[in-house]
Amino acid sequence: MTAPTERGHPEPAPTGRDHLVTPPTERAGPTTTPTSQAHPTTTPTSQAHPVTTPAERAPETRLIHGCMGLGGAWDRTPHTAEDVDRAQAAVEAALECGITVFDHADIYRFGKSEAVFGEVLARTPGLRERITLQTKCGIRLAEGERPGRYELRAGSIVRRVEESLARLRTNVIDTLLLHRPDPLTGPDEIAGALHELHRQGLVRRFGVSNMSAAQIAHLQARLELPLTVNQLEMSLARRDWVEAGVLVNTSAATANGFPEGTVEHCVDQGIQLQAWGALAQGRYTGDAGHADSPAAELLRRLARAKGTTPETVLLWWLARHPAGVVPVIGTSRPDRIRACRDAALHAPDLTHEEWYELWIAARGTPLP
């Protein structure tokens, strides 16, 4: 089965519990287990937190390792011991590079990404205390005649968190992201589920993925907890987030689908912007058919001049933006992870002019 992209995952079947070593009800930690019937609701109050404080924000980091590539095939076959070994190698490579934030989703490899990571944690004493675990819920994969869909009903959020905790073999998720908006579930119901998970100590922080400024504000108005992350597709290839800021008052503005004001809203509210697809699926650095493009050649030239790799320069282009974008790298290959080492360890080494040169080379036309 072809691995899906973040835009349209095939959605996991209900997770097979034969590989869940610790059922949610037997976890150490909070004694009260939320049930799928829990639908606490909240109303907007004057105590809502529209802006995060430094203590509430997502951990500062230059790079995040995305774990979508771990766990074997994108199907419902059980993961293997070799899959766990490969996951261990990827985690060790990330740690060598100074990466300590690991990004998951309940649907990645039909739950197997979380499961193999949980086995890595179990076989590596002390590792859990050294890292930040982030996962997502809210997408249901297609199953039989039932189509893939989005689901943020309170009971579903709680169940997915319980299952992720069991697969990851941990007592708490550091950051839970709502993977995509569910237009059929109201913000009061969603907020109630998040408050309950936080109250029981099962989730420390919350954020969103693939949401606009308006959607974030709509949910935040019902929350007593701050939303700390918005994860969006952002890269040198997917530039609409930065193009939107310069296409104002041009005829090209209508063709840009990026929601207006989203980057600015996140910066103003102290919400960390995370970039999934940051390496552009190898478009400029791999074998994706653009190795001879002007942007790819410029990346190689800049990398040689700076004594680093094209992957690092590509990630620096994102991190150089004043919004403080944190790239998520999704490769599971240790060599590709190590190619990003300088981006994890050092501040972006790109001048103002070099940043613009890369942007213009990638867009293929001058700025308006």
Structure confidence at residue 289 (pLDDT): 56
List CB contacts of 356: < 8 A, sequence separation 6 or more: 367
Residue 155's closest CA among 172, 145, 140? 140
Assess contact for 211 and 58: CB atoms under 8 A.
no
Give the integer Cα–Cα distance in Å for 54 and 355: 29
Helix or strand or coil: residue 332? coil
Residue type, 164: S
Burial environment of residue 46 by CB neighbours within 10 A (0 to 12, 13 to 18, 19 or more): exposed
The H helix count followed by the E strand count for the chain is 13, 10
Q: What's the pLDDT score for residue 48?
A: 44
Q: Angle, to 10 degrees, between the axis of helix 112-123 and the axis of helix 154-168? A: 40
* Beta bridge pairs of residue 171: none
- What's 280's DSSP letter? G
Quote the pTM value. 0.85
356 is catalytic: no
Contacts 24+ apart (CB under 8 A), 117-122: 117/67, 117/70, 117/87, 117/91, 117/167, 117/168, 118/21, 118/167, 118/168, 118/169, 118/170, 119/84, 119/87, 119/169, 120/84, 120/87, 120/88, 120/91, 121/168, 121/169, 121/170, 122/21, 122/169
What's the pLDDT score for residue 1? 47
Cα angle 146, 211, 64; round to 5: 95
Predicted local distance difference test score (pLDDT) of residue 47? 42
The per-residue pLDDT for 256 is 77
Cα distance between residue 65 and residue 68, in whole Å: 9
Task: Give the CA dihedral 133, 28, 141, 205, nearest 10 degrees.
Answer: -40
Q: Is the dihedral of CA 206, 207, 213, 214 positive or negative?
A: negative
Which of the residues 108, 150, 284, 356 is marked catalytic?
108
In the chain, the domains with their CATH numbers are 60-236+260-289+322-337 (3.20.20.100)
Question: What confidence score (pLDDT) does residue 257 get?
Answer: 80
Q: Give the rounded distance of the alpha carbon of 312 from its chain centre.
A: 19
* pLDDT by position in tens, the chain (length 368): 445 544 444 444 443 333 333 333 333 443 444 444 444 444 444 344 456 666 678 889 999 999 999 999 999 999 999 999 999 999 999 999 999 999 999 999 999 999 999 999 999 999 999 999 999 999 999 999 999 999 999 999 999 999 999 999 999 999 999 999 999 999 999 999 999 999 999 999 999 999 999 999 999 999 999 999 999 999 999 999 999 888 887 777 777 789 899 999 999 999 999 999 999 999 999 765 566 799 999 999 999 999 999 999 999 999 999 999 999 999 999 999 999 999 999 999 999 999 999 999 999 999 99
Helix, strand, coil fractions of the chain, as percent rounded to 5: 40, 15, 50
